[in-house]
Amino acid sequence: MKTILHIDASARLTTNSVEEYNSISKSIAASFINKWKENNPTDKIIHRDVGVNPPNFITQDWIAAVFTPDEVKTKEQRALLSLSDTLINELEQADIIVMSSPMYNYGLPAALKAWFDQVIRINKTFSFDLTRGDHPLEPIMSGKTMVLATSCGEFGFGPGGINEKKNHLGTHIETMSHYLGIDTFYEINAEYQEFNDDRHKESVQNAHTKAKELASTLSNSYISTLQ
């Protein structure tokens, strides 16, 4: 049995009475999850919508608590870290992380960055050792896969595209995902939302197709390892 951690991040829902208002990134991630469930109905799925319920921003006291050895942490410090502990526990259980994110101001939403800040934590998700020379940080976990579904209003954010240099969404998430123990990273993008034209329709349709195909491919390769 595999465990999937499903993190959504758009401020928009997928249940609006006007379909056009629905989150595209969330619905692409849902295509992946639904296809996965068809193939693996008993797998555990942990779902968090940080767009609707954003994690707290970290504070100076939070940082102090993180750097205080466990045996001398106060009750207040433990309480301050309890959300981080819960989110890290969910990550530890996960084999696959299905993350969806809109592009806001050329990067990820603050709510999703808040999730990463709560989760990427010294001696929990990464270790720090200066004897490693110029690369003192190493992830503690490994072997996980991330599937990132994104949506943006403009287009051409991929290599060679007209907005390539403005893409701080997938590139940023991929960099951070190393410290979650991600070894394999897939990204599926829908573009052109602001143009609302045929290019947009085609881009969204392709993204759903890719999400379903990837769910089948990954679940088939997982099933074949069981045989």
Specify binding-site residues. 10, 23-25
**Taking the complex as a whole, how short is the minimal distance between the CB of residue 26 and ligand FMN, in angstroms?**
6
Site string for ligand FMN, 174-193 (x = CB under 6 A): -------------------x
Beta strands of 41-198 (E only): which ranges? Answer: 44-49, 96-102, 126-128, 137-139, 144-151, 182-190
Rounded to 5°, angle at Cα 149 from 146 and 151: 155
The answer to the question of residue 219 lying near ligand FMN (CB under 6 A) is no
Taking CB under 6 A as the criterion, the residue among 7, 10, 31, 204 binding ligand FMN is 10
**Pick from 129, 128, 172, 179: nearest CA to 148:** 172
**Taking the complex as a whole, how short is the minimal distance between the CB of residue 199 and ligand FMN, in angstroms?**
13
Q: Using the minimum distance from each CB to ligand FMN, give the nearer residue, 48 or 144.
A: 48
Cβ neighbors of 129 (< 8 A, separation 6 or more) are 136, 138
**Taking the complex as a whole, how short is the minimal distance between the CB of residue 118 and ligand FMN, in angstroms?**
21
| Stretch of 17-25, 63-71, 75-83, 137-145 contacting ligand FMN, by CB under 6 A | 17-25
Residues 36-95 that bind ligand FMN (CB under 6 A): none
The answer to the question of residue 106 lying near ligand FMN (CB under 6 A) is yes
Q: Using the minimum distance from each CB to ligand FMN, give the nearer residue, 9 or 65.
A: 9
Q: Contact, 102 vs 150, CB < 8 A? A: yes
Nearest residue to ligand FMN, by Cβ distance, number only: 102
**Pick from 209, 7, 176, 180: nearest CA to 100:** 7
The answer to the question of residue 26 lying near ligand FMN (CB under 6 A) is yes
Residues in the chain: 227
Q: Which residues are annotated as a binding site for FMN?
A: 10, 23-25
- Exposed, middle or buried, 95 (CB in 10 Å: 0-12/13-18/19+)? middle
State how far Cα 8 lies from the chain centre.
7
The answer to the question of residue 145 lying near ligand FMN (CB under 6 A) is no
Q: Which residues of this chain interact with ligand FMN, rule CB under 6 A?
A: 10, 12, 23-26, 102-106, 151-154, 193
